[in-house]
Amino acid sequence: MPIIYRNRTLPLVCWYPVDYKTPFVYEIAYFFQTVALVQFSTLFMVGSAYFLSLCYLLSGQFDILYCSLKNIVATTYIYMGASKSELIELRDKERMPNEEINEYYVTDELPFDLDCLPHVPNPAETARPRSFREAFNYALRPCVEHHIFILDVLRELQRLFNFIWLVKTFVVTFFFCISAFNIVKLSEGKTFLKLFSIGHYLFLGLSELFMTCYASEIIYIGSQRCGEALLRSPWHLHLREIRADYLLFLTTTQHAFEFTAGKIYPLRLEKFRAIITTSFSVFTLLRNMDKGE
């Protein structure tokens, strides 16, 4: 835009040992400053993109665990050596009339082909448990280990990022207030390029904060659904044998996992809305103080 309108200003205020407004020198300086801004923007988003990608992967792990827990009774029947007719009868009993929309976040559940049943069990496992309780414990153990693994990874992410998000939430809130006030207060004296630069940084800060809160919300919802998945299985058919195991697992999984900023406040979409509300309140206060002067 400055090149088109012949307004020889640079995106960043910087001192050069030569006159940067001369031909060719201005174009080169403008190009390198633009590249620097793009690199800075990319670096600004790398941490959030890495965190968001890990949250998507872990939400996929929650989907896999959800599917395993929902079909745990059918898995138990397979470990018991149930016949094809028994599995078909179980499938008809546990089939829900109206399947939930968006039941899984990043995966899909495919129906099991019962004709492939003889190839599913491992031939090396010649001594499989035969009673329902033993087979159920055999099927539940991988689910428990999977749940523990997901929680361990989430705790490690919490340890790595909690202080970073504490600093960034304060920085983004402060920068949002100052930038909005600067745009409104000094818009008449600013060039389009500088206003665009301020708005660009403002958009980056809000985008990063939203990505973080949205990814944390995904994990929070996924961690709540483990007990719900177990209750979706036809547990009532064998309640007497597995009541204690069901209650123990439900008690363990009823506490949802939340990412926090500095272990002070949770990072969720409610927090993002609260930051926007607080920023506008401070912005209104600054405008009223400016008008009073």
Interval 91-136: pLDDT, tens: 766 665 456 667 777 777 777 666 666 555 554 454 455 677 888 8
Q: Say whether 19 sits in a helix, a strand or coil.
A: coil
Report pLDDT for 275: 82
Report pLDDT for 71: 84
Report pLDDT for 192: 65
Residue extents of the structural domains in the chain: 52-292
132-185 and 239-253 are packed helices; what angle lies between their axes, rounded to 10 degrees?
A: 20
Interval 165-216: pLDDT, tens: 888 888 888 777 777 766 666 555 556 666 776 777 778 778 888 888 888 9
The closest of 218, 257, 262 to 63, measured between CA atoms, is 218
Where does the pLDDT of residue 150 fall: very low under 50, low under 70, confident under 90, or very high at 90 and above?
very high
Which neighbouring-strand residues pair with 265?
A: 261
Between 96 and 7, the higher pLDDT residue? 7
Which neighbouring-strand residues pair with 261?
A: 265
What CA–CA distance (Å, rounded) separates 173 from 265? 15
Residues with Cβ within 8 Å of 221's Cβ and at least 6 positions away in sequence, in order, are none
Percent of the chain with pLDDT over 90: 6
Interval 232-261: pLDDT, tens: 877 777 777 777 877 888 887 778 888 888
Q: Per-residue pLDDT for 271 more than 50?
A: yes
Interval 38-76: pLDDT, tens: 887 777 677 778 888 898 899 999 999 888 888 888 888
Q: Per-residue pLDDT for 153 more than 90?
A: yes
In DSSP notation, 229-282 reads HHHHS-GGGGHHHHHHHHHHHHHHH-S----EETTTEE-SHHHHHHHHHHHHHH
Report pLDDT for 126: 41
Mean pLDDT rounded to a whole number for the chain: 77
